[in-house]
Amino acid sequence: MANSENYSVSIASQYVCDLGEGPFYESTSDSIYYVDAFKGTIIRSPLNDEPKDIHALGTRLVSLIIPYANDSQSFLVNLDDKLAKYNWTTRDAQILTSLPQHVDGKERFNDGKCDSHGRLIVGSVVESNQFEGIVKGKGSIYRLDGNQLKKLADGFTLSNGMDWSVDGELFYFNDSEDQKIYVFDYDQENGTLSNKRVFFDFKNHTDFKSNEYPDGLVVDANNFIWTALYGGGRLVKINSRTAKVELSINVPASKVTSLTFVEPQLNKIYVTSCYSESEPDSGKLYLIHSINNELKGNGFAQKFVS
């Protein structure tokens, strides 16, 4: 395993989120956009600075924010079980589509990203009508086509982080509750998934505790899989060929949530987290960089093409 001492971890912002999630690096403004999920807010934070804009969306939960490719003022966001086009200047939200009513409870969106063609791929979870938590095995993966949702896969419990291999042929996907990373073959022309299999099962590895849940996920320029471990207070880097853990980096919050590569060289990582009263630096943004310049992201995150 690589030496984590070659990496430094610092606090990038003193702003505290209840549940920071969904970081997106926007290179034109050199800013991080992310969400405070439980507060229903979206945040813009210039790199190396405190947040400049915090917008309350008036929703129970927001979990993703992705800029539009052809409109610098518009962002794709979710309002609980709805997807909307949000104008940053006017603060108007135009509803694009909603999840259908689910027989087992309330289905809502969670993590989402855009593929190389700018198509949104987004996961869902189903919350019990009896307020007993998440319903096992009822979450799905969808693709947004215009104003319609196309189901690509189902049978998940807590759909979470996702990303593609460097060549775009493989799609990696976290089911947090089941503590597994799945991998699919990805048809880039049609935006479809096939050949689902387990890439990494955290329950089968003694290096991980039972309370460590894979949350956000990114793939770097060398096809290594990076995932944030909610409950574990760390990021891990996994070899996509051997499924061996190559690196573990601790951060100052046990409930680390998501991550993204940032800056023009994509050689630093910003990390979001969830607040815990017993951890004074939790809920903040963290910055990770490599002393030996070993970090390299897999291109800028894709914006949404409408």
The answer to whether residue 51 is domain-embedded is yes
Catalytically annotated residue among 81, 163, 178, 215: 215
**pLDDT mean over 169-193:** 98
Q: Is there a domain that residue 9 lies in?
A: yes
Q: Say what percent of the chain tops pLDDT 90.
A: 89
Q: Are the C-beta atoms of 135 and 128 separated by less than 8 Å?
A: yes
pLDDT at 210 over 90: yes
215 is in an annotated binding site: yes
- 137: domain CATH number? 2.120.10.30
| 8 Å CB contact between 4 and 250 | yes
Position with higher pLDDT, 4 vs 187 = 187
Q: Does residue 13 carry a pLDDT above 60?
A: yes
Residue 215 annotated among the catalytic residues of the structure: yes
- Domain assignment present for residue 300? The answer is no
Buried b (16+ CB within 10 A) or exposed e, 90-120: eeebeebbbbeebeebbbbbbbbbbbeeebb
pLDDT band at residue 131 using 50, 70 and 90 as cut-offs: low
User: Quick check: 283 pLDDT over 70?
Assistant: yes
Domain that holds residue 280: 4-290
Q: What would the mean pLDDT of 259-278 be, rounded to a whole number? A: 94
Q: Is residue 299 pLDDT above 90, yes or no?
A: no
- Number of domains forming the structure of the chain: 1
Residue 81 among known ligand-binding residues? no
Is position 302 within any domain? no
Q: Is 21 annotated as a binding residue?
A: yes
39-58 pLDDT per residue, tens: 999 999 999 899 999 999 99
Residue 237 domain flag: yes
Residue 4's pLDDT is 80
Please report whether residue 296 resides in a domain. Answer: no
State the pLDDT at residue 84.
98
Q: Is residue 295 part of a domain?
A: no
Name the pTM for this structure: 0.96
Question: Is 44 marked as binding a ligand?
Answer: no
306 located within any domain: no
Position 130 scores a pLDDT of 62
